[in-house]
Amino acid sequence: MTVPNLDFSIDRNSYQRWKKRWLAILVLGLSLQISHLAWQWQTLEGMRNNLESIRNRAMAKAVDRESTALTPQQRKSAQALQEMLSHLSVPWEALLAAIEASRNKAIVLESIQMHPVDRSLNINLNAPGFTELSEFVGLLAEQDLFLGVTILSETMVDSGKNPLRAAVRVNLYSAF
Partner 1 sequence: MNLYAVNSFRKTIEAKADQFLALLRPPIYALVAMQGVLLSGEDNAPPQIFKLEPSKKKLEEQFAWAVLKLIELLKNSNVHGRRVCVYVSDYWARPLTLPLMNNILKEDEVEIVLKAQFRRRYAQPMDDWAWCWEQQGLQLSAVAWPLAGLNQLRQGVSGQNCILGKAVPLSVDVSRQTAVHQANTWIAIVETASITLIRQREKSWECWLVIPADTGVAKCLSVQLKREAARRNDDCRHISLTKLSGSADMALCRKELAAAGWTVSMALAGTSKVSNGYRLSEILAAQGRL
Interface residues with partner 1 (CB under 8 A)?
A: 1-10, 12, 16
CB of 25 to partner 1, least distance (A): 19
Shorter beta-carbon distance to partner 1: residue 12 or 65:
12
Residue 63 to residue 56: CA distance in whole angstroms: 10
Comparison of 17 and 87: residue with beta carbon closer to partner 1: 17
Q: How far is the CB of 45 from partner 1 (least distance, A)?
A: 45
Of the pair 16, 153, the CB lying nearest partner 1 is at 16
Residue 10 CB, shortest distance to partner 1, in Å, is 7
Give 85's contacts (C-beta < 8 A, 6+ positions apart).
none
Least distance between partner 1 and beta carbon 3 (Å): 5
- Dihedral angle of Cα 125, 130, 93, 114, to the nearest 10 degrees: 50
The CB-of-24 to partner 1 minimum distance in angstroms stands at 18
Could you tell me if 164 and 128 are in contact, meaning their C-beta atoms sit under 8 angstroms apart? yes
Give the nearer residue to partner 1 in terms of CB position, either 15 or 39: 15
**H/E run at residue 48:** helix 12-69
**Cα–Cα distance between 86 and 42 in angstroms, integer?**
48
Classify 1 as helix, strand or coil. Answer: coil
The smaller minimum CB distance to partner 1, of residues 20 and 87, is found at 20
Query: C-alpha angle with apex 73: 71 to 74, nearest 5 degrees?
Result: 65
